[in-house]
Amino acid sequence: MPNMADSLDRLFAAVVEARKRSPEASRTSKLFHDGVQKMAKKLVEEATEVGLDAVQKKRESVILESADMLYHLVVVWAECGVTPDEVMGEIDRRERLYGIAEKLPKQAGAAQMRRMTPFAHRRKAAS
């Protein structure tokens, strides 16, 4: 079975490459041309479809819509200057702190802001 991180890396590379194409020739390029609001809207639509299909226990639809959702998530990452490695690094960090099946606690507040500060500096440096 393929490694999901490898698949996301390949998808990310394809999305970044498609960004250079004409919006008339590439749906991905059109998303970049339409802007981050359109990208975010498409991501939310796909996430909603995954959720609705999950509630209805439509396994095959959950798989198909999840792939669509991951595609739109990768498009948003590319637009925001986020790489799959950075997201995987955050997942690894959380696993070390909280365990693999846990999400960052909501009460993080100030700690979360401190944690995200280096990311903000990286984004400014990349601009």
Per-residue model confidence as pLDDT tens digits over 4-19: 889 999 999 999 999 9
Average pLDDT over residues 84-109: 79
List the CATH code of the domain at 4-126. Answer: 1.10.287.1080
- Residue 97 binned pLDDT confidence (cut-offs 50, 70, 90): confident
Domain ranges of the chain: 4-126
Could you give the count of Cα atoms lying within 13 Å of 67 in the half-sphere of its Cβ? 7
Average pLDDT over residues 20-49: 96
What is residue 114's predicted lDDT score, i.e. its pLDDT? 52
Compute φ and ψ for 83, nearest 5 degrees.
-105, 155
- What is the pTM (predicted TM-score) of this model? 0.78
